[in-house]
Homo-oligomer: A and B are copies of this chain.
């Protein structure tokens, strides 16, 4: 009963089929990065490296501390940002992109280029 094996497809084949319409993974990614303030926070961390909470707040004007704190928790839960707590007193908390976060750089660079070309 192996006569059907010639038509066996790799798992990827059926998984990517849905991408002909709207790919759920892409959809998740674009709404994650595009969530209010998240894109700006990622941009700042990408260019600033490891940063203190107040440094991020300073680099993203008009963003309240409450909302920044919420976003940082979301990004940490998504493993896009890593939170570091220093030894010693007082402890110092800083944030840094993980590999997963840093690999958003090409997408952000392309979007930046588009923005520079097309937005006023």
Contacts and interface: CB of A to CB of B under 8 A. Distances in A.
Interface of A: 20-23, 25-36, 38-40, 43-44, 47, 58-61, 100, 103-104, 106-120
A17 to B, nearest CB: 13
Given A22-B43, A33-B34, A103-B118, 12 more contacts: A21-B59, A22-B60, A25-B112, A25-B115, A25-B120, A26-B111, A29-B112, A34-B39, A104-B111, A104-B114, A106-B114, A107-B113
Nearest to A34: B34
Nearest to A35: B34
User: How many copies of the shown chain assemble into the complex?
Assistant: 2
Given A31-B34, A33-B30, A110-B110, A40 B59 contact: no
Contacts of A34: 30-35, 38-39
Nearest to A103: B114
